[in-house]
Amino acid sequence: MRAAGRVVFRALSRAREMARPGMTTLELDRVVYDTYTSAGGHGLFQWYPTYEPGKGFPGNTCISVNDEVVHGIPGDRVLKDGDVVSVDCGIQLGGYCGDSAITIPIGQVSPECEKLCRVTEETLALAIREVRPGRRWTDVAAKMQEHVEKNGFSCVREFVGHGIGVKMHEDPKVPNFVSDDFRKKGDFYLQPGMTLAIEPMVIAGQCDVVVLDDGWTVVTKDSTPAAHSEHTIAVTATGCDVLTDGR
């Protein structure tokens, strides 16, 4: 999984280097695709979830701009100064998966967007610091939610992190917030050897989201910007090991 994670890291680093005003999201998708295929990685997003060509997600990466939260389809949209662009990449290498996302500020972004990107990254970093064996996931999720909300932002409810291993999406569900329902039915204790994708999705305004007519792109209902940050991690005997940080 670390080998897969290293390739995902390289692909996203390349996207961060290359993203600039005037580039289309399809061109950015190509940069990511070329990086992971040249390393022998097999993309997990195209034609998800059926993997039947022509059915499912029509892109190699999810590229979501401004009020798009997740699952944006790469296309002819041109990036411009001030945009915030989240790039999500999942691949399989040697039978194991890596899944990671970053949000890239394009040129000079507003102070609000700068704070949004920073708080989203901080929320992921905070979760990683809090992961250790024997702890309940809701204890970690409560701290993530608190950090987002004390900064005046909100956590997406409809989409959550997940277990990951030989498949991209495995049990358990890994939310970035706490609900009574999840406490009763979904909570779990962190155990050494568990591998999870932790992925805060943060909205500058209210938490409500809508899926566009393309069937994929998730946008904020109030049109405020959103950011997304994700790492694949392993729970170890003493804490947490990040598998998609390039080591």
Chain residues that interact with Mg ion, rule: CB under 5 A: 88, 99, 101, 197, 230
Name the minimum Å distance from CB 20 to Mg ion: 23
Q: Which helix (H) or strand (E) holds 31?
A: helix 25-38
Residue 238: both structure tokens together = 């003493």
Name the minimum Å distance from CB 100 to Mg ion: 6
Name the minimum Å distance from CB 90 to Mg ion: 5
Taking the CA atoms of the chain, what radius of gyration do you get in angstroms?
A: 17
Choose between 82 and 246: whose C-beta lies nearer to Mg ion. Answer: 246
Choose between 112 and 170: whose C-beta lies nearer to Mg ion. Answer: 170
CB 7 within 8 A of CB 36: yes
Name the minimum Å distance from CB 13 to Mg ion: 16
Phi and psi, residue 244, nearest 5°: -120, 30
CA-CA distances (angstroms) from residue 67 to 1, 74, 184, 227? 32, 15, 32, 9
Choose between 80 and 157: whose C-beta lies nearer to Mg ion. Answer: 157
Choose between 222 and 245: whose C-beta lies nearer to Mg ion. Answer: 245
Name the minimum Å distance from CB 228 to Mg ion: 8
Sheet holding 161-163, edge to edge: 170-174, 161-163, 195-198, 231-235, 240-242
Choose between 83 and 88: whose C-beta lies nearer to Mg ion. Answer: 88
Residue 42: both structure tokens together = 């097999």
Distance of CA 182 to the CA centre of its chain: 20
Cβ-based burial of 149 (10 A; exposed 0-12, middle 13-18, buried ≥19): middle
Name the minimum Å distance from CB 225 to Mg ion: 19
> Which residues have CB under 8 Å from 68's CB, separation 6+?
86, 217, 218, 219, 226
Choose between 159 and 188: whose C-beta lies nearer to Mg ion. Answer: 159
Choose between 68 and 99: whose C-beta lies nearer to Mg ion. Answer: 99
Name the minimum Å distance from CB 127 to Mg ion: 13
